[in-house]
Amino acid sequence: MLVPLLGRFLEPYRTSLLVVLVLQLAQTVASLYLPGLNADIIDRGVVEGDTGLIWRLGGVMLAVTLLQVVATVAAVYVGARVAMALGRDLRAALFDRVETFAAREMAELGAPTLITRSTVDVQQVQLLSFMLLTMFVTAPIMAVGGLAMALREDVTMSGLLVVVLPALVVSIGLVIRQMRPLFRLMQGRIDRINGVMREQIMGIRVIRAFVKEGEETERFGQANQEYRDVAVAAGRLQSMMYPIVMLVMNLSVVLATWLGGYRIGSGDLQIGQLTAFQNYLVMILMSVMMATFIFMLWPRAEVSAERISEVLGTEPSVVAPDDAVPVTLGSGHVDLRGATFSYPGAEHPVLHEVDLVARPGETTAIIGSTGSGKTTLVGLVARLFDATGGTVEIDGHDLRALRPEDVWAAIGLVPQKPMLFSGTIASNLRYGRPDATDEELWRALEIAQARDFVEQRPEGLETPISQGGSNVSGGQRQRLAIARAVVKQPAIYLFDDSFSALDFSTDAALRVALRPVTADAAVIVVAQRVSTIRYADRIVVLDQGRVVGTGTHPELMDSCTVYREIVLSQLTEEEAS
């Protein structure tokens, strides 16, 4: 997964990669050249007392070192830029993909893991690519070059590598093998911490009100501890790597000195050559250490790459067919025929063969007990998910044959839990129609019975709204969400229990004010309160996902027992008639 992902996302940076390659090559060649020069200074300069040669070769060494430094700095700079750009591109790709997800994919993956994957996992891949970009060429060239140079200095001494190298590779390999499953576990546990934290931050008021801080702290503590345990286990293994490499490296140098001593004594080797050999030996082992760094990061980055690729490879369930042509849904005829819907993984459908008609200029109300499927029904009309059976049509088009954005353009949805975005009241109201004038915004606020409270704010339409709309009350948020839908002037209004936070008189005033603006639109209202819907042109009664009655209030009072029961639980017999 990691290699294809890197291949795909590094493709646009081919030129930079080539530059890094050349710079690394220059740096490595320079590094390999230096010990040889040093040996010459000792053996030909110092031993033979040739000061001129020492100066000359010293100068060359200085120049080569300078080249090495410049190449290293430049390679790290370009490499870091590419790695950062890769991180940015991965995050952008993830964000773009998540934006296409329908409710189904969101439910399957879940917000916490999507956040971890876009941040922590991307960071892992980014870190590994940085390491690769700074060491990828250096390590193998240094290893091979170092080996060649060591052989040139002394073939017998190079036999040492036959023992040292396999020992190093095998011991590191064993450690890495144990690290891989731990990293997978670690990412999963970060998801869990994120999930618990998210839930607790969002539910902080409820937690306090129910005095559950202790239990919640414990729950978080447990998730935290589980992550710590696996991180410590992985860290323990990781911390063994460096000492192993250092141990092997130092032992090798000692061995080389010991062996070299004999060979110098027998006249087979010169002092300078031994110094150079030791340098090359260290270089070879250093390159193994560099590779170790990469091997250390590789398993974690690979797990992360798998998690990123899973998101990128998840196909949205609400999509336009290949042959979909753009359409404008202007009139707002909604027809559900035998619409059935099951949530993924659920045993039974939530909606069973629902037939529903909503016409422009009319108000269609949906009423039913809690959990009867009202919100799900609204989601089907808004194409937040597709029906698993039957059809949902707008203006005679089966929604599955349309581009989702064409459907959404026709819909003014006021969800059960209204959501506002950070910005101002004006920016939120213009969400569906950016070119709306201030006058139109005020008009929409008036209809939504929100004008007064906005006027009372010194900054009026420019009043700041914090993330999620947390600095306005629930009722105000609901009214602003209604105003936002009104500004959009859609062909179909979907009010999902949007009037529940309003008192009776405000609810009535709002419905009267809405009438002229929705005169040409289909209005679908979900409500628990009978007074909100009793004058609707058509009332659809849902019971456990089935339509058990359709008609006007008087018709249903006569014909539908479920409706009668709901009405009589809220109104007296006289009020209801």
Ligand X SMILES: Nc1ncnc2c1ncn2[C@@H]1O[C@H](COP(=O)(O)OP(=O)(O)OP(=O)(O)O)[C@@H](O)[C@H]1O
| Chain positions contacting ligand X, by CB under 6 A | 107, 343, 346, 350, 368, 370-376, 416
Nearer to ligand X, 373 or 432 (CB): 373
- Smallest distance from the beta carbon of 545 to ligand X, in angstroms? 7
CA 156/CA 159 separation, integer angstroms: 5
- Smallest distance from the beta carbon of 377 to ligand X, in angstroms? 7
- Smallest distance from the beta carbon of 388 to ligand X, in angstroms? 13
- Smallest distance from the beta carbon of 350 to ligand X, in angstroms? 4
Spatial CA neighbour of 499 closest among 416, 375, 442: 416
3-state secondary structure of 201: helix
Q: How far is CA 459 from CA 326, 476, 574, in A?
A: 40, 16, 47
- Smallest distance from the beta carbon of 303 to ligand X, in angstroms? 28
Nearer to ligand X, 61 or 106 (CB): 106
Nearer to ligand X, 375 or 550 (CB): 375
Nearer to ligand X, 462 or 565 (CB): 565
Nearer to ligand X, 40 or 496 (CB): 496
- Smallest distance from the beta carbon of 371 to ligand X, in angstroms? 4
Q: How far is CA 80 from CA 24, 94, 135, 308, 387, in A?
A: 13, 21, 12, 21, 48
Nearer to ligand X, 445 or 526 (CB): 526
- Smallest distance from the beta carbon of 438 to ligand X, in angstroms? 35
- Smallest distance from the beta carbon of 373 to ligand X, in angstroms? 4
Q: Which residue is it, tokens 């409820």?
A: 206
CA 90/CA 129 separation, integer angstroms: 12
CA 380/CA 407 separation, integer angstroms: 11
Nearer to ligand X, 195 or 235 (CB): 195
E-state strands within 488-561: 492-496, 522-526, 538-543, 546-551
Nearer to ligand X, 105 or 393 (CB): 105
CA 306/CA 117 separation, integer angstroms: 10
Nearer to ligand X, 245 or 560 (CB): 560
Torsion of CA 16, 21, 26, 30, to 10 degrees: 130
CA 46/CA 38 separation, integer angstroms: 10
DSSP string, 124-162: HHHHHHHHHHHHTTHHHHHHHHHHHHHHHH-HHHHTHHH
Nearer to ligand X, 31 or 376 (CB): 376
- Smallest distance from the beta carbon of 526 to ligand X, in angstroms? 7
Spatial CA neighbour of 482 closest among 530, 410, 412: 412
Torsion of CA 133, 134, 136, 138, to 10 degrees: 150
CA 175/CA 240 separation, integer angstroms: 8
- Smallest distance from the beta carbon of 354 to ligand X, in angstroms? 11
Which residue number has the CB closest to ligand X? 375
Nearer to ligand X, 12 or 371 (CB): 371
Q: Which residue is it, tokens 């790695």?
A: 83
Nearer to ligand X, 183 or 499 (CB): 499
How is the chain split among helix, strand and coil, in percent rounded to 5?
65, 10, 20
Instruction: Please classify residue 357 by burial: count the beta carbons closer than 10 Å to its beta carbon, then call 0-12 exposed, 13-18 middle and 19+ buried.
Output: middle
- Smallest distance from the beta carbon of 366 to ligand X, in angstroms? 8
Cβ(309)–Cβ(13) below 8 Å? no
Take residue 111 and report the two structure tokens written for it.
Answer: 């917000």
- Smallest distance from the beta carbon of 491 to ligand X, in angstroms? 23
Take residue 507 and report the two structure tokens written for it.
Answer: 């609810």
Q: How far is CA 157 from the centre of its chain?
A: 53
